[in-house]
Structure 1
């Protein structure tokens, strides 16, 4: 299961705390707990999540409050939405269904079911993104550089590194990285082919250029600076590679 950044939109404190504990036990991180529309949109802008859990009935009492929030979250940043609700009436379900959620879970939720639904929702989201989105799986990409757009070949990208409000893009045949004014979570949506791997919150590497792997560092071809491997990411990284093991 991938470790995801998840936004919780829930106005009941006890439920929100229970959700956060369940997610953290599953290896996910919670970007924020929002109680209403305004808090949710602000939280998603400050730290874009991979997925959002949204209670349909938020404070202010409007049935559509959670649905409207989910709709605006997706418009601001593409992500799968999982609805949580204690109300299973048909009208509410029909309204929620129009926003194409990844799942619709009734409270009280079962912890194991929630974990599975999150995994399935994100897996399907990434698969569907690769199949139907306008983002290239391979080929060229045009970066906003110097008041225009400059072409790069995805196969020549070594890695992407978050740097404050910018992202550095290191290229195979270029000493100085490109600086793009955006966050890594947003830019990563354009690097969705299997060879691009999110090593950490601040690093996205191209495994095609991985030349050497050590216990705590990895080395990319034609790039002298070693890249530190977070301890929490090493096991998952090894699963992506065909490694010969000795007896």
Structure 2
């Protein structure tokens, strides 16, 4: 079995300690134990793991485990295993949108967890190999069918109510996709795509000009405001020559 780097997103200290013991006995390394949404995102950026085990209920956090997993996947693609005491159907359906590798109900058995981890990572690696040849393209649901687009041609995605507008260099008019941006964003996980806000996902390859509070995309004259909360992370993703 592969020795994996695993992030724990768990707000209960005793449960986190039990999980860490199980994982380390199996030969894995726990990269961090995050109790909240912010701690989880920081951990993913600091030391990207091979996998994350995520508790859905995170007391004291601004977001629950499902929201946390969504945002982590925008930063780093990896398999997610949910650990929860919540068997509610609505919670399960919400979790499914993030396409987890497994959904385990507490209390779980240590042997079961070890097997699910091994299976999850095995299938993740297989999918990586299968997806590689076509990773540069997507098929969008358009007019009762599916239309192929090249990721390199995508300028940005913008949430518009129940739809997402996808702007491309090859089309004058955007595609209108009946889907929420959080779900669609997982298909744009390459390093050149950046989630500027809840409603906007940019292809940084087409960032033409940057000002203190605004940025400009190639071919679009309208300035796009930079949220204060996103500016620091955006600057980390860019190579900027600074004046003394």
Same fold (TM over 0.5): yes
Query: Helix, strand or coil: the match of 1:204?
Result: strand
For the pair 1:149 / 2:146, whether they are aligned, the reply is yes
Structure 2 CA distance for aligned equivalents of residues 239 and 48 of structure 1: 22
How high is the TM-score relative to the length of structure 1?
A: 0.58
Query: Helix, strand or coil: the match of 1:169?
Result: strand
Query: Helix, strand or coil: the match of 2:109?
Result: helix
How high is the TM-score relative to the length of structure 2?
A: 0.59
**8 Å Cα contact 1:48-1:185 kept in structure 2:** no
Partner of 2:208: 211
Change over 3 Å in CA distance of 1:166–1:133 after alignment to 2: farther
Query: Helix, strand or coil: the match of 1:78?
Result: coil
The partner residue of 1:171 within 168, 173, 179 is 168
**8 Å Cα contact 1:211-1:221 kept in structure 2:** yes
Structure 2 residues not aligned, in runs of 5+? 1-8, 16-33, 42-55, 73-79
Partner of 2:99: 78
For the pair 1:227 / 2:224, whether they are aligned, the reply is yes
Query: Helix, strand or coil: the match of 1:77?
Result: coil
For the pair 1:26 / 2:43, whether they are aligned, the reply is no
Partner of 1:92: 109
Structure 2 CA distance for aligned equivalents of residues 94 and 34 of structure 1: 25
**8 Å Cα contact 2:157-2:200 kept in structure 1:** yes
**8 Å Cα contact 1:165-1:182 kept in structure 2:** yes
Structure 1 CA distance for aligned equivalents of residues 104 and 185 of structure 2: 25
Q: Equivalences for 1:60-71 in 2 at 5 Å?
A: none
Structure 2 CA distance for aligned equivalents of residues 76 and 24 of structure 1: 18
Change over 3 Å in CA distance of 1:237–1:79 after alignment to 2: farther
Q: Equivalences for 1:1-150 in 2 at 5 Å?
A: 22-23=35-36, 26=39, 33=57, 49-50=70-71, 54-56=82-84, 58=85, 75-79=96-100, 92-100=109-117, 131-132=128-129, 134=131, 136-138=134-136, 140-150=137-147
The partner residue of 1:191 within 179, 183, 188 is 188
Change over 3 Å in CA distance of 1:99–1:69 after alignment to 2: farther
